[in-house]
Amino acid sequence: MNYIKFLGTAGARVVVAKQLRASGGIWLSLDDTNILVDPGPGSLVRCVSSRPRLDPTLLDGIVLSHKHLDHAADINVMMEAMTIGGKNRKGVVLVPADSVSGDDPVIYKYVRPYVKKIEILKGKGRYKIGNINIQAPVKHVHGVETYGLIFKGKKHTVSYVADTKFFPELPREYKGDVLIVNVLRPEPCPFDHLCIEDVKKIIKDVKPRTTILTHFGMSMWRARPREIAERMSQETGIKVISARDGMRFDLSRLDDD
């Protein structure tokens, strides 16, 4: 079964700190390959408490868009869980260079040998985990080195627009059947994040079959993301969904549309 499981939909410090929304990241199962994206605080707990349970030892890889804690806090524990504490050396980990180097890396040195390979994300980079081809199309405008991701399977393509300030080249880089977008606030944001108007521009350019909004800050949480998604669907003519904690999106739904 090909699906996307949202282990959390929280963005920004307050929503994560208060766990108003969970912050476990995204589990992608596609073409017999399992990938965990952005394992933020509580990722392991969300995996084992999921219904049905998600077994970290079945992961083929883990990907970080960037090293901020709401995306990367559980990277080490998930690497340990995937490999059973290094007993089963396996898996590919894709991360920006500053996640493993410099003065403030987020992946511990002792955990690194547990996995089969750690690869460094770069703009226009192409990678592979299991049966999934992965692209990091462009470097984002954010406080640390950040990349969005495109996951290409045999039949479906899932694009993930991670944290970023909007820039003109952004929309053309993320063509795909499903577009997942991190949207922090309804209104324009003083930080390097997208707002609703930015997302509308991306949707109108990309024209995905389905767009899924996630990574909500406090003002977005208060504004009722489900209602915002419904209005966006009407305005853009593209199906827009607001992700919920624990939501599973079966990619087979695309075949029924």
Reduce the DSSP state of residue 18 to 3 states and report it.
Answer: coil
Q: Is 223 exposed, middle or buried (0-12, 13-18, 19+ CB in 10 A)?
A: middle
Report percent pLDDT > 70 for the chain. Answer: 99
* Cα-based distances in Å from 236 to 82, 203, 229: 40, 7, 10
- Residue 83's nearest CA partner among 99, 62, 66, 105 is 62
**Radius of gyration of the chain, Cα coordinates, nearest whole angstrom:** 17
Cα gap 101→67, rounded to integer Å: 11
- Residue 154's nearest CA partner among 7, 23, 33 is 33
Would you give the DSSP letter of residue 54?
P
Q: What is the mean pLDDT of the chain?
A: 96
What is the dihedral angle through the alpha carbons of 131, 2, 48, 112, rounded to the nearest 10 degrees? 20
The sign one gets for the Cα dihedral 96, 101, 102, 106 is: positive
Q: Which residue range(s) make up the domain with 78? A: 3-256
- Residue 16's nearest CA partner among 7, 5, 27 is 7
Task: Note the pTM of the prediction, 2 decimals.
Answer: 0.96
Q: Tell me what the mean pLDDT of segment 211-230 comes to.
A: 96
Query: pLDDT by residue (tens digit) across 40-57?
Result: 999 999 999 999 999 999
pLDDT at 189: 80
pLDDT at 13: 86
Report percent pLDDT > 90 for the chain. Answer: 95
The sign one gets for the Cα dihedral 172, 173, 179, 183 is: negative
What is the dihedral angle through the alpha carbons of 18, 147, 36, 228, rounded to the nearest 10 degrees? 50
The CATH number of whichever domain residue 64 belongs to comes to 3.60.15.10
Instruction: Please tell me the total count of domains within the chain.
Output: 1
Q: Is 92 exposed, middle or buried (0-12, 13-18, 19+ CB in 10 A)?
A: buried
Query: pLDDT by residue (tens digit) across 3-36?
Result: 999 999 999 889 999 999 999 999 999 999 999 9
pLDDT at 12: 83
CB within 8 A of 49, min separation 6: which ones?
none
**pLDDT above 80 for 257:** no
